Structure 1
Amino acid sequence: MRGSDQEVYAMIIRSLDEPDNPDNQKALQEWLAKDAGNHKLLAELRSLWEGAAEASVFESTQADAATARFIHILHERYPSAKAASTSPKLNWWKYAAAAAITGLVALTYWWAQPAAEKLTTFRTTAQTDSVTLSDGTRIVLHSHSAIRYPETFRGKTRTVFLDEGTAFFDVQQDAAHPFTAATGNLNVDVLGTAFNLSVTGHSIKLYVAEGEVAFGRSGDNSPLRLQAGKGASFHKTTGTLAPDREADPNALAWKTRELRFVDMPMEEVCNVLSDCYGMAVILENDSRKAQKLNARFSQRSIEEVLQTLNALYDYRYEKRGDTVFIH
């Protein structure tokens, strides 16, 4: 890669911050091919990056700007670095610069929350469970879900992280301390509201139960604005984020056990049942996937739902371990 040292450092930071971005990875590979010593530098930077648990969480931080500011500070602190910066080789000060840049960007996050402490991980297994945060916010987790949160919120913002699964957030209102639920590089920003956030292998889905939220990528100046009854989906494969055309009537079914199916194809019904009950429900008969179901279930177990499908619609089923097969 050609360009100044500042561009090189910014490129490295971007590649570490967004490992799934093909453009960033292409630029990184081109730079690595230029010099065998670049591999050593990258290895050291990656080690520092991974050692800082929250270093990859940025809020309105520009990698290029952070790099430029740090190089200016570095030149003032180490005058010899100015002369060294014209050399095509990466000398000792550049290693120090790149490493410190990583720390600088991470510190931007910590400065936003000056006294943030170690995050606590709360994880569910086969059952739903809930946790109440220090500000009074209550989070209900679906089975096989995990969040991270500080034991005490300090600073101007309240941030928690949904790492996997599905969670319902009933956020305590505090206009002076906005609340953010982060997952990947997407943020849900609120003051006081209730919403459902779900992370799967292919998508991230949001449904707003009360109030209004802003939903977008970290640092996005134009996030989606969603009010109660509205939802949005982020598709990981395409990288697209868009509001849902229609509200999902079963978005909260895993929590409320209220299921509603209106002209819904059976294949989609099985997906909804899987999400609701936290177990795989598979329709084996391809010829029946397009058949539509109209039904409502309230406070029913998966066994009761399956028995109803069997009695009224002649769908037979069998359970094998944690999986239900319908045919």
Structure 2
Amino acid sequence: MAIVRMAVFWYLLVENKFMHQESTSILKKLFSKSIYKKTNASEDQLLSILLRKVYHTVSWDEETMGNKNEIRDEIRSRITVTPVKTPNLTFLKYAAAIAIITSLIIVFQYRTTSSNMLVATTTNVLDSIVLNDGSLVYLAPNSSLEYPERFYGEQRNVTLLKGNAFFDISKDPKHPFVIQSGELKTKVLGTSFHIRMEKEECSVAVVTGKVEVRYNKSIENLIPGEEVHSSGNTLKKEMLKGIMTLNWYNQDLSLNAIKLHEILHFLQLKYGVKNTIKNSKTNNLKLTLFIGKKASVEEIISQINYITNLNLRYENEIITTD
């Protein structure tokens, strides 16, 4: 009988899956008294009725919980039956049913708390990923993101393995979104921001909302217009300027008095192109131009050449000049 009582006890610990709160409360009180043999005949009868109610009202959703027969067989293969002296057969019938249901729930919960991990990798073009919580991630060229097929647990965890990305995170105060990028850990509730991983440092630039960044023993809280990057063993906070204050992954850009080297850096991040322009005078030229979100590198270079009379050329993923 102790096994049966323990089975029912485990059922009571399940998060009120099958009964209303009031019925669950009564069942808990009766069961507690029953353990110490303090129930009278009327209470024993009520306990049996409540157990019968659970037995007859439980339903199994195969679409979300899996194949009932397969999981049942798996549970039965692990059950060790112990002889019981003079059991109450009615009580035993319904309690045993509860034990099986509870075991099914536990197996189901165990199976659904682990999720397949996926990796998205870009080559020479950017791409976007919609996560199962509705968050949107834009991956720059030559970048990789590891993320779960579904989020479980208290946090929504992903890892930026390499490259650059823009995160537009769905708000969920109860489940913080955490991005591991190298040794930096970025924690948010719902916001949008850039993360750039380079050879010797990693940086986080906030466009909207608030962001917490941890690196070694350093912690920085950022608001829109602020950027932090790793420097040695600490974090260095700076004010954002120019293009990095915007979500340029999927928005048109109207740029006013932006230096050429910033535009070239933007082209490197969004399109994965490099440049060989070293002349400081050329790099510091200020330009005003419009860049559509679907504009090609060739179109942007043509516009720059028209405005500046420079002779920039774009060949083999590299921008050069005379």
Task: Report the TM-score range of the alignment, normalised by the length of the smaller protein.
Answer: 0.5 to 0.7
Aligned match of 1:306: 301
Aligned pairs for 1:2-17 (under 5 A) are: none
CA offset at residue 250 of structure 1?
Answer: 3.6
In the alignment, is the contact (CA less than 8 A) between 1:231 and 1:247 conserved in 2? Answer: no
State the Cα distance separating 1:259 from its structure 2 match. 5.8
Closer, same or farther: CA 282–271 of 1 in aligned 2, 3 Å: farther
Q: Tell me: CA distance 1:135–1:267, structure 2 relative to 1, closer, same or farther (3 Å).
A: closer
- Relative to 1, partners in 2 of residues 1:119 and 1:297: Cα closer, same or farther, differing over 3 Å? same
Write the letter of the residue equivalent to 1:321: N
Partner of 2:235: 241
Match in the other structure for 1:224: 220
Task: Report the AA paired with residue 293 of structure 1.
Answer: K
Whether the aligned pair in 1 keeps the contact of 2:277 and 2:283 (CA below 8 Å) is no
Q: TM-score, normalised by structure 2?
A: 0.58
Matched, 1:260 2:258: no
Shift in alpha-carbon separation, 1:162–1:303, aligned structure 2, 3 A = same
**Structure 1: which amino acid aligns with 2:243?**
P
Which residues in structure 2 correspond to 1:168-183 (within 5 Å)? 168-183=166-181
Contact 1:207 1:230 survives alignment (8 Å): yes
Match of 1:297 in 2: 290
- Give, in whole Å, the separation in 1 of the partners of 2:197 and 2:315: 26
Q: TM-score, normalised by structure 1?
A: 0.57
Contact 2:212–2:220 (8 Å) recurs in 1: yes
Q: Map of 1:58-137 to 2, 5 A cutoff?
A: 115-137=113-135
Q: State the match for 1:140 in structure 2.
A: 138
Q: Deviations over 1:173-231 (max 9, x none)?
A: 2222111011111111011112221212233221212211101226x4x5211112322
Q: Is the 8 A contact 1:273 1:281 kept in 2?
A: no
**Cα deviation, residue 325, structure 1:** 0.7
Unaligned runs of 5+ residues in structure 2 are 1-111
State the distance in 1 between where 2:258 and 2:193 align.
26
SS in structure 2 at match of 1:144: coil
Q: 1:140 to 1:270 in 2, by over 3 A?
A: closer
Q: Deviation digits for residues 262-321 of structure 1, max 9, x if unmatched?
A: 362x4444323322322112215x363454213232314322222222223221122331
Secondary structure in 2 aligned to 1:276? helix
CA contact (8 A) 2:204 2:228 kept: yes
CA distance in 1: counterparts of 2:173 and 2:221, whole angstroms: 17
The structure that has the greater radius of gyration is 2
Q: Structure 1 counterpart of 2:230, which letter?
A: F
SS of the equivalent of 1:288 reads helix
SS at match of 1:283: coil
Q: Distance in 2 between matches of 1:225 and 1:287?
A: 34
- Structure 1 CA distance, aligned partners of 2:284 and 2:190? 41
SS at match of 1:223: strand
- Please say if residues 139 and 166 of structure 2, whose CA atoms lie closer than 8 Å, have aligned partners that are also in contact: yes
> How many residues matched?
208
Amino acid at match of 1:253: W
Q: How far apart in 2 are the matches of 1:165 and 1:304?
A: 24
Pick closer, same or farther for the CA change 1:203–1:307 going to 2, 3 Å: same
Ranges in structure 1 where 5+ consecutive residues have no aligned partner = 1-113
Q: For the structure 1 residues 158 and 216, does the alpha-carbon distance in structure 2 shift closer, same or farther, using more than 3 Å as the test?
A: same
Could you tell me which amino acid in structure 1 is paired with residue 130 of structure 2? T
- When the two chains are superposed, the root-mean-square deviation of aligned CA atoms in Å is 2.5
Is residue 2:286 matched to residue 1:288? Answer: no
Residue type of the partner of 1:322?
Answer: E
Counterpart of 1:161 in structure 2 is 159
**CA deviation map 1:75-123 (0-9, x unaligned):** xxxxxxxxxxxxxxxxxxxxxxxxxxxxxxxxxxxxxxx9444421111
Match of 1:315 among 301, 310, 318: 310
In structure 2, what is the equivalent of residue 208 of structure 1? 206
- Partner in structure 1 of residue 90 of structure 2: none
The answer on 1:187 being equivalent to 2:181 is no
- Among the aligned pairs, what percent are the same residue? 25
